[in-house]
Amino acid sequence: MGEITVSAQHIDHLLHDPTSAYGAPYQRAYADLAATHRGRPVDEIMPLLRKAADTALLGFTSADLAEQAQAISTGARYELRVRVTT
């Protein structure tokens, strides 16, 4: 399980919010990769997750991204604990 802290004003960078003008939430990128990259090597998925995290301005660690890539590769569930700050 991973953890990330996101400010309340930037939660739309992580989770899709239809009322927000922000167009690249990480949730969408992760879901797209999970749908298209199952069974692919972790090393192939990692740079795509890093790019999505960087685009969304989220500070995932390399270990978090590796866990996420492993989950996508194997089709396992991935749990992310989100701490929202004000």
Judge whether residue 82 has pLDDT over 90: yes
Q: 21 falls in which pLDDT band (50, 70, 90)?
A: confident
Q: What is the mean pLDDT of residues 35-43?
A: 97
Q: What is the mean pLDDT of residues 51-71?
A: 95
Q: With CA atoms as reference, report the closest residue to 40 among 63, 61, 71.
A: 71
- Looking at residue 68, what is its pLDDT? 97
- Work out the angle between the directed axes of helices 26-36 and 42-55 (0-180°, nearest 10): 160
Considering only 19-23, 28-32, 38-42, 47-51, which range has the smallest mean pLDDT?
A: 19-23
Judge whether residue 56 has pLDDT over 90: yes
User: Helical H runs in 19-77?
Assistant: 26-36, 42-55, 62-74
Backbone angles phi, psi at 48, to 5 degrees: -70, -40
